Amino acid sequence: MDCIFCKIIAGEIPSAKIFENEWIYAFKDINPEAPCHILVIPKKHIASMDEITEENSVYVSKIFESIPEIAKLGGAENGYRVISNCGKDAGQTVFHLHFHVIGGTELPIHVFPEK
Ligand code: 5GP
Ligand code: ZN
């Protein structure tokens, strides 16, 4: 399968690893939007949040069980935000489920800051 995040998990594409266990892999975003910008992904190809099922949702649980530790390892000491873009309108560009963990600075509260 031609999926860059599957290749990152397999070690075929290098990445800056932050955390890994049997279920999940976390690494620095190549184009960070904050001092802490980590991507947390399941070690199973799930295309997006639309593809989460009763059978594979354990991967999502495992991601959220580890996010507090991952955020601290990434330097988000005073809080963080978790984002998953799902589909075209949300701007999803990589179709392997991933959660952005963003922090390390005060974040704008609104999705549309001009409002
Ligand atoms: P999306 O737009 O799908 O929510 O997020 C995809 C994210 O993956 C983007 O923030 C982008 O910077 C990141 N990304 C894309 N390709 C790579 C890569 O090869 N390595 C790393 N570390 N991040 C990547
Ligand atoms: Zn994949």
The pair phi, psi for residue 58, each rounded to 5°, is: -60, -35
The alpha carbon of 100 and the centre of ligand 2 are apart by a number of angstroms equal to 16
2 CB contacts (<8 Å, ≥6 apart)?
none
| Model pLDDT, residue 114 | 78
Q: Is the CB of 3 under 6 A from ligand 1?
A: no
Average per-residue pLDDT in the chain?
Answer: 96
Confidence of residue 103 (pLDDT cuts 50, 70, 90): very high
Mean local confidence (pLDDT), 88-94: 97
Evaluate whether 45 touches 52 at the Cβ level (below 8 Å): no
Length of the chain: 115
Active site positions, annotated: 98
Q: What is the pTM of this model?
A: 0.97
What pLDDT digit, counting tens, does each position of 6-55 carry?
A: 999 999 999 999 999 999 999 999 999 999 999 999 999 999 999 999 99
Closest CA to 98 of 26, 3, 35: 26
Question: What's the longest Cα–Cα distance across the chain?
Answer: 43
Q: Is the CB of 27 under 6 A from ligand 1?
A: yes
Rounded to the nearest 10 degrees, how much is the dihedral formed by the CA atoms of 87, 89, 91, 94?
Answer: 20
